[in-house]
Amino acid sequence: MAYKVLLLDGIDASCKTILEQRGIEAVAAPKLAGDELLATIKDFDGVVVRSATKVNETLLKAAPNLKVVGRAGVGVDNIDIPMATKMGVLVMNTPDGNTISTAEHACGLILSLARSLPNAVNSLKNVAWDRKKYTGSELSNKVLGIVGLGKIGSGVATRMRSFGMDVIAYDPFTTHERAQEMGVKLVDIDELLKTSDFITVHTPLTEKTKGLVSKANASKLKKGVRLVNCARGGIYTETDLVDLLNDGTIGGVALDVYSVEPPDASFAELLKHPNVVCTPHLGASTEEAQEKVAEQIAYQIADTLELKSFKGTLNGKAIALSTNKEVQPYLKLAERIGDFVAQVVPDNTDYLEIEYHGKCAQHGEVLTDSLLKGYLTNYSDEAVNLINARYLADFRGLRFKETLSKDSKTYSDLIRVKIQGKSRFKDFAATPFGDNDYRIVEIDGFGIELALKGIIVLYKNIDKPGMLAAVSTEMSQRGVNIAALSLGRSAKGLEAITAFRVDRKLSTDELKAIDDVDGVDFAHYVEMADN
């Protein structure tokens, strides 16, 4: 059977060459878009894209023969993976292909900020000779703060240490041992903001990373810090950057990515600022990287169509299990409890004990993949999925032990996660109650029942009259509605645990108001998906 693959977005020519060598018809259409694309794609078995083409529901439904979507690069924000999975279309990327190029680009931006290179070049091209104006600063003995120690972040760390920089990092899922191997000191995010001379970010854009630097937290920054972003637009609040530059809070900004691409008129003042270095999303745009990802995706696509290998597939296991109604609830439960635990345990936890009880135990291997996906997703600079979750856990030094048991004393199915080391909460158990109803049923031996969705506040407290009333009063005074509540206690008059869900996000001050209630021990905030 002759397969046909459509190559969009200006994929390097090596992709077409390799596919044709494998007997696959490859059609390069770098500018194909809109209705013309929808009319054309119906005849193809595969499509390869970069970041320009949006592989959304409309496109997928216009391609009844489509078997695989290949992303020549890392990011898959432009691909609707759930819809592709639902329609039985494999999605794959090439996560290693542009790691070096992006890390090198970030390093180049750091150097450009330190030595005012773009401004100095422009000055001389305009026949000026102003050496004093463009006096720079050395990188040696400066502190580089890296947010996210995945492949790209760790690549930046290795390279910038050779310049004599002291490298610190914030990554809650990298262990201290792994960081030490790289010569990096792990710190909390506030210390990183306070002590860094340069900050570079290598994480996805999430609710936790959005606005990492903004006017709201300007007081936390070291005066004159210089910022680099080759990850995702919006991690720094772009609308605040001009004011922060003008008042001296930050000394310079280097941007390769933007919340709107290409940047619209609202970015004009920022991009023209003399202390801003800006490039048009060039992190992966080297000849080597583009050729490398094109070759990788060509081999992966060919192997997949010929059913030889499914390397790089982001939803392969998901497709295999998407129609299995017995496994689906457990996959969702495992991912939810992984996400929950990641937000509750201390940063840099290095060991998890995972137990499966009841019928779900027979699917333990893939459930661990799903649990690790939930655990790692918020701070990984790669797309975490069922295929690569174990690899990324190992890369960060996270160890885990799995135990399977067909017996379950209380519930027919139970997933339990235990934490070793210093942690206020050490033992979590959850079970499915029905369609899309996944609940925590035990924390540290306390019986509790709360749906794993929405915004949850969790704390331990002294078991005495008036505790719940005191917390409820604090919430009421701040206009916060408690939507659901669960209580558990060890014995009358001793310790208790409380978890409740609220209707909106809490500010730091609102969470502190709970923590300050006499008898409350460490109020913790967890934000889960609503569905």
pLDDT at 323: 65
For residue 155, is pLDDT > 70? yes
Can 4-96+288-312 and 99-278 be said to share one CATH topology? yes
H-helix or E-strand spanning residue 186: strand 185-186
370: CB partners within 8 A, 6+ apart: 330, 331, 332, 334, 335, 338, 386, 389
pLDDT at 339: 94
Could you tell me the pTM of the whole model?
Answer: 0.80
Angle between helices 117-125 and 99-115 (to 10 degrees): 70
- The residue annotated as part of the active site, out of 161, 281, 390, 424, is 281
pLDDT band at 407 (very low <50, low <70, confident <90, very high): confident
For residue 85, is pLDDT > 90? no
- Name the least confident of 114-118, 389-393, 412-416: 389-393
Alpha helix (H) residue ranges in 75-211: 81-86, 99-115, 117-125, 151-161, 176-181, 189-195
- The residue annotated as part of the active site, out of 36, 138, 261, 365, is 261
Q: Tell me the CATH number of domain 447-531, given options 3.40.50.2300, 1.20.1440.230, 3.40.50.300, 3.30.70.260.
A: 3.30.70.260
Question: Given this structure, which CATH class describes domain 4-96+288-312?
Answer: alpha beta
For residue 495, is pLDDT > 90? no
Query: Could you confirm whether domain 324-444 is CATH 3.90.950.20?
Result: no
| Domain range 99-278, CATH architecture | 3-Layer(aba) Sandwich (3.40)
Query: Is residue 198 classed as helix, strand or coil in its secondary structure?
Result: strand
Would residue 105 show up in a list of annotated catalytic residues for this protein? Answer: no
pLDDT at 322: 67
- The residue annotated as part of the active site, out of 71, 178, 202, 232, is 232
Q: State pLDDT tens for residues 110-129.
A: 999 999 999 999 999 999 99
Would residue 261 show up in a list of annotated catalytic residues for this protein? Answer: yes
Would residue 232 show up in a list of annotated catalytic residues for this protein? Answer: yes
Query: Is residue 502 classed as helix, strand or coil in its secondary structure?
Result: strand
Q: How far apart are CA 239 and CA 324, in angstroms?
A: 46
Print burial letters for 487-524: b (CB count within 10 Å at least 16), e (below 16): bbbeeeeeebbbbbbbeeebeeebeebbeebeebeebb
Query: Alpha-carbon Rg of the chain, whole angstroms?
Result: 25
Q: To which residue do tokens 């002759």 refer?
A: 2
Q: How far apart are CA 382 and CA 379, in angstroms?
A: 9
pLDDT over 90 percentage in the chain: 66
176: CB partners within 8 A, 6+ apart: 186, 348, 350
For residue 326, is pLDDT > 90? no
pLDDT at 1: 62
Sorted by where each begins, the domain ranges of the chain are 4-96+288-312, 99-278, 324-444, 447-531
Q: To which residue do tokens 């719940």 refer?
A: 468
Q: State pLDDT tens for residues 439-472.
A: 999 998 889 998 999 999 999 888 888 999 999 9
